[in-house]
Structure 1
Amino acid sequence: MRNSDYYFPAVALGIAFVAKLPALRRGWRSPLVRSVCFLVFAAAICFFFAAPPTIEAVNDLTGIPNFSGPLVYCVMCAFSCACLVLIVNWRGGPDETVRRSSRRWIAGYTAAIIALPVFFALGDAPVERLRDLDTYYATTPFIREMIVTYLVAHMVSAVVTTALCVRWARAVGDWLRVGLVVLVIGFVLNLLFGLAKLTAVVARWTGRDWDALSTTLAPPIVAAGGLIVTVGFLLPLLGPQISDVCHAWITYLRLGPLWRQLRATPGDHAPLPQIPWWAAPDMRLTVRETVIHDELLKLQPHLDDCVRQRAHDAAIDSHASPQDAEVVGAAAMVVAAVEASTRTPEPDPQAESRVPAGAVALTAALGPGRGRLVQLSRALHSPFVAAARKEAATYSESSTR
């Protein structure tokens, strides 16, 4: 792996951790918030300290060859523990049960983290190894135990979390299920990393040289696994927000045809509110929706229920559903009203008696919420609406002669 393959994820995860700090400050008492923040932090630190340049710098700074080895292993164990604790808190349950399970995992991995530097101090690793410490010292007393301890701890976490996520994913849906599926992929990769490393170490014990499993195959696997696991934990937290933003933008764009239809006509339009460029899409959508309703209200004196009824009946004759025909009829009436308001600001006296029925029909077609407004905007492309537009234009030409 290139050095950038370590540092880019470290920077990305560091930014994610900084972004989560306000939530950590507000919800410090929440074990779930603390677990998420610690996991992201541990993942960022793990990528940073696992990079060969960082390993060399730490070794030089401490003056101890291979000091980075137990340091990186300790951080990996902390990350594995954070995954387990977060899953336990995420699933929930009785508070005492959750606390007891969390404490057990923390106690077990704390023991492993303490054992790693003890084994390193008892062993002898005088030759600095930046990329193949595991296999180079696979047969060295105490260093061997240190390597096996961190690999077993890492694999136990991967197996347990995978089983928990698979079982839990069957009972949930939406973003939580997506996050759990992503987590399973990440934990399986972490397990494959541990198996590749352990296989290379065991091969050394039997006199075989399978070092490529540890030095070539394992690093990219664990890099991908760490990133995927972090993304899997963040998806259920950020996914609903992402969905809301995407839905707001999509609705905003879908209201565009209706917006342009109502605002493109000459006349006295109310000034638009000043929206800063950094405004959230929800604010932009609310402004667009409000302006559309205001413009429709101004069109009421020009609404002609006969236009609506003709377009409605034509849509029904073309086997449209009653709901679609209702929206198409309302859209045709709006287009004809826009043409009429363009022709003259004063309503047609002959159609004045049909205005109240048209206003009632438009109100019924829109209904509550934004859904029917979007349908009205999309219905502007209907051939029945185009026919109403052409009919209104023809009437305008004949009336001006």
Structure 2
Amino acid sequence: MSGEDYYIPAIALAVSLAFKLPALRTNWRDPLLRSVCALLTLAAAVFTFAAPPTIEAVNRWTGITNFSAPLVYCLITAFSASCLVLMVNWRGGPPEQTRRVSRRWILGYSVVIACLIVLFALGEAPVERLRDFDTYYANTPYLGQMIAFYLLAHHVAAVVMVSLCWRWSLRVRGWLRVGLMIIVSGYIFNLTYDATKMSAVVARWLGHDLDDLSTYVAPPLAAVGALISATGFVVPLVCQRLSDNWQTWKTYRKLGALWQEVQMCTQSCTPGVRMSWWSAAELRVIQRESDIHDGFLHLGPYFDRSLHDGAYERAVAEGADRGTARAVADAAMVAAAVQARSADPEGNCIEAGEESSFDLPDGPRDLLRISHALRHSPVVEAVRRQAALTAGRLA
């Protein structure tokens, strides 16, 4: 792999981190958000410092031959710990238990990092190796143990992550399950990376040469695995947000029939608030619901309870369940009230503090069902036509 093969993933991860930083500044105490930012930071650092040009530059700047080797190993170990901590916080649970398990993983991998530094300090690596440090020094005292130690720590983290994500994915559904399966796929690449690295190192211990596995096969596997795993962490958050927005816009659109019905005769009393085109979907739904309730308030004097009961009975007779029949009856009463209000030249606007006869003791109406009934129910259409004829005769 060339330097660009390392720097492109690092830039992509850094961009993802940049999008997360504003939320981190405003919600620093969120352990899940902190874990995500730590993972993205360490992943970007691993790709940056593992690139051969960076390895050479760091060795030159520090004046220590092969100083980049323990630096990259420590970053990989810290990244492994950050994945485990993120998974612990993502799964949730009692806060104290979550903090305790997170601290254990952090402490354990901190010990590993300290051991890597000590082993490198005790060993001797006089020849600079930019791409094949693992196999070149596999038989060197202390350095060989350092290499085996970091590979073992990385392998343990990969196995634990695969086990946790797989078991969790069997108990959840939706985008979370998709994300967990993506993470498992990414860590399968990491396990393959471990296998190729360990095979090359063990081959050196046994006097054989499988250096190409470590030098040319393992790095692409690590890059692909890291990107896939990072995608798995992001997908549930992004896709769930998009799904929620889509559902909110669907609610806004479905309320349109009811909103237009009540606005026909109430705009002169309460002109609707114009929302900016960039207004959030949640705000638009809230405003539309508010407009509908204001319309109910102004239509209150024209609501006919007997008409409501008759429409309910007709809907039940046609096979509707109680909830649907109730929505049909409410929609029929609203449609008739709109016709009556439009035909009343002396109809006055009702003040905001007055009660609406639509607010019955049995709780709020299902606005979405009422809106659907206004557009699709034959009972409502029949009531609307009859009310229009009656209003025409009165006019």
3-state SS, counterpart of residue 377 of structure 1: helix
Letter in 2 for 1:316: V
Secondary structure of residue in 2 paired with 1:218: helix
String of CA shifts for 1:223-276, please: whole Å, max 9, x gaps. 322443x438x85xx998777666544433332221122224575131334656
Correspondence for 2:224 among 182, 200, 220: 220
Distance 1:373 1:98, change over 3 A: closer
Distance 2:174 2:27 in 1: 23
Return the match for 1:367 from 342, 363, 367: 363
Matched residue SS, 1:387 = helix
Q: Tell me the residue number matched to 1:381.
A: 375
User: Cα 1:342–1:80, aligned 2, differ >3 Å: closer, same or farther?
Assistant: same
Select between 165-174 and 331-340 the one with higher mean Cα deviation: 165-174
Moved more, 379-388 or 52-61: 52-61
Give the structure 1 partner of residue 146 of structure 2.
146
Residue 222 of structure 1 and its aligned partner are, at CA, apart by 2.7
Cα distance change, pair 102–312 in 1 and its aligned pair in 2 (3 A): closer
Match of 2:353 in 1: none
Q: For residue 210 of structure 1, what is the amino acid of its counterpart?
A: L
Structure-2 change in CA distance of 1:21 and 1:180 (3 Å): farther
- CA apart distance, 1:85: 4.2
Percent identical residues: 41
Most deviating of 41-50 and 251-260:
41-50
Equivalent residue number for residue 127 of structure 2 = 126
SS at match of 2:27: helix
Q: Deviations over 1:76-95 (max 9, x none)?
A: 21122233445556665695
Q: 1:98 to 1:271 in 2, by over 3 A?
A: closer
1:192-211 map, 5 Å: 192-203=192-203, 206-208=208-210, 209-211=212-214
Contact 1:200–1:214 (8 Å) recurs in 2: no
Residues 153-202 of structure 1 show CA distances to partners (whole Å, capped at 9, x for unaligned) of 11112223444455566778898877766655554444343234323444
For residues 17 and 37 of structure 2, the distance between their equivalents in structure 1, rounded to whole angstroms, comes to: 10
Aligned residues: CA RMSD: 4.1
Question: Among 225, 229, 234, which residue is 1:231 paired with?
Answer: 234
Q: Does residue 1:74 correspond to 2:78, yes or no?
A: no
Asked if the contact 2:264–2:338 (Cα under 8 Å) also holds between the matched residues in 1, the reply is: no
Structure 1, 325-334 or 113-122: larger mean CA deviation:
113-122
- 1:393–1:167 distance in 2 versus 1, CA, 3 Å: same
Deviation at 1:74, TM superposition (A): 0.8
> Structure 2: how far apart are the matches of 1:243 and 1:216?
33
Alignment CA distance shift 1:294-1:31 (3 Å)? closer
How is 1:152-301 mapped onto 2 (pairs within 5 angstroms)? Answer: 152-164=152-164, 184=184, 186-203=186-203, 206-208=208-210, 209-211=212-214, 212-228=216-232, 230-231=233-234, 235=237, 248-265=248-265, 268-273=268-273, 280-301=280-301
Equivalent residue letter for 2:81? C
| Change beyond 3 A, Cα 1:326–1:52 | farther
> Quick one: distance in 1 between partners of 2:384 and 2:156?
69
**Structure 1: tracts of 5 or more residues without a match:** 348-358
Residues in 2 aligned to 1:320 and 1:194: alpha-carbon distance in whole angstroms: 62
Q: Is the 8 A contact 2:39 2:83 kept in 1?
A: yes
Distance 1:389 1:125, change over 3 A: farther
* Contact persistence 1:175–1:239 (CA under 8 A): yes
Give the 3-state SS of the residue equivalent to 2:375 in structure 1.
coil
- TM-score normalised to the size of structure 1? 0.74
Letter in 1 for 2:363: G
Contact 2:81 2:157 survives alignment (8 Å): yes
Provide Cα deviations, 1:108-139, integer angstroms capped at 9, x if missing partner.
Answer: 32232123344445242634425x55456555
Aligned to 2:343: 343
In structure 1, how many angstroms separate the alpha carbons of the residues matched to 2:129 and 2:166?
41
CA–CA distance in structure 1, aligned partners of residues 322 and 95 of structure 2 = 51
Aligned residues: 376
CA–CA distance in structure 2, aligned partners of residues 116 and 336 of structure 1: 80
Among candidates 19, 24, 33, match of residue 20 of structure 1: 24
Per the alignment, residue 326 of structure 2 pairs with 326
Match of 2:385 in 1: 390
**Cα deviation digits, residues 341-391 of structure 1 (max 9, x gap):** 3333447xxxxxxxxxxx75x4449833xx711211122222322333333
Q: What amino acid does structure 1 have at the position aligned with 2:284?
A: R
Amino acid at match of 2:213: W
- CA offset digits 1:9-59 (Å, max 9, x no partner): 2320343245223322xx3xx877765553443334334434555445434
CA distance in 2, matches of 1:315, 1:157: 61
**Per the alignment, do residues 323 and 86 of structure 1 end up closer, same or farther by CA in structure 2, a change over 3 Å counting?**
closer
Q: Is the 8 A contact 1:328 1:376 kept in 2?
A: yes
TM-score, normalised on structure 2? 0.75
| Bigger Cα displacement from structure 2, 316-325 vs 1-10 | 1-10
Please tell me the residue identity of whatever aligns with 1:207: D
Between the aligned partners of 2:50 and 2:161, the Cα distance in structure 1 is 23
2:9 corresponds to which of 5, 10, 17 = 5
C-alpha contact 1:165 1:180 (8 A) present in aligned 2: yes
Distance 1:216 1:241 in 2: 32
Q: CA, structure 1 residues 93+259, in 2 after alignment: closer, same or farther (shift >3 Å)?
A: closer
Report the residue type matching 1:129 in the other structure: L
